[in-house]
Chain A
Amino acid sequence: EAGVAQSPRYKIIEKRQSVAFWCNPISGHATLYWYQQILGQGPKLLIQFQNNGVVDDSQLPKDRFSAERLKGVDSTLKIQPAKLEDSAVYLCASRPTVDEQFFGPGTRLTVL
């Protein structure tokens, strides 16, 4: 089966600009996650969706980050305006009913 798809793979922007990332989970996976992985650290959860509803966004910096999952399938994560400390790899993952998450290749964001 096809894996989790993410685009773009790389993005370079200047601070205060906006950026958006896209994720297409594995077909049929109801739960979708966005993680932020700063260089040298483990991934940290930003937001968790169940179908098109938000389950947990407690770690999402809501003053600049937003995410949506329309129709319970694809999802977009947006940052506006970006800061230098947002430079990281943004990982999307999806989960079927069992306790395992499948990760996409990630989007590497560099904020200059």
Chain B
Amino acid sequence: GDSVTQMEGPVTLSEEAFLTINCTYTATGYPSLFWYVQYPGEGLQLLLKATKADDKGSNKGFEATYRKETTSFHLEKGSVQVSDSAVYFCALMDSSYKLIFGSGTRLLVRP
């Protein structure tokens, strides 16, 4: 079945460092891809999405490009802030519109 694999955390960075969180997927067809963020004590929030190959999703300085050839959707940000500390989930939406999530990557940004 469909699945998502993302890098294990925690990822610890200093403020203003470059961030990459790797995500790869296995799916039949070409699913929509998502990054969700979960801040401490809060629910899941959609960070960005891409619905077809070569699409780039972006929001709040974060970017991810839908790469069909490598079945990847890596999350990047050029300069992280302490406020970006959270858990990030990569997900795909299958043909029946349900989300399949990766296991999450915790990001800790130090001042």
Taking Cβ atoms with an 8 Å cutoff, the residues of A that contact B are 4, 31, 33, 35, 40-45, 48, 55-56, 91, 93, 95, 99-106
Contact = CB atoms under 8 A, between A and B. Distances in A.
A39 B89 CA distance: 13
Contacts of A102: 46
26 contacts: A4-B43, A31-B97, A33-B98, A40-B103, A41-B104, A42-B91, A42-B102, A42-B103, A43-B89, A43-B99, A44-B101, A45-B99, A45-B100, A48-B96, A48-B98, A56-B98, A91-B43, A91-B44, A99-B32, A100-B34, A100-B46, A101-B93, A101-B99, A103-B43, A104-B43, A106-B43
B6 to A, nearest CB: 9
B13 to A, nearest CB: 20
What DSSP secondary structure best describes chain B's contact surface? Answer: strand
B45 interface: yes
| Chain B, interface residues (CB within 8 Å), range | 20 to 34
Question: Could you tell me the dominant secondary structure of chain A's interface residues?
Answer: strand
B91 A55 contact: no
A104 B45 CA distance: 9
B20 to A, nearest CB: 19
Nearest to B41: A105
Given A42-B89, A100-B49, A55 B99 contact: no
A41 B103 contact: yes
Given A93-B99, A104-B43, 12 more contacts: A33-B98, A40-B103, A42-B89, A42-B104, A44-B101, A48-B96, A55-B96, A101-B46, A101-B93, A102-B46, A103-B43, A106-B43
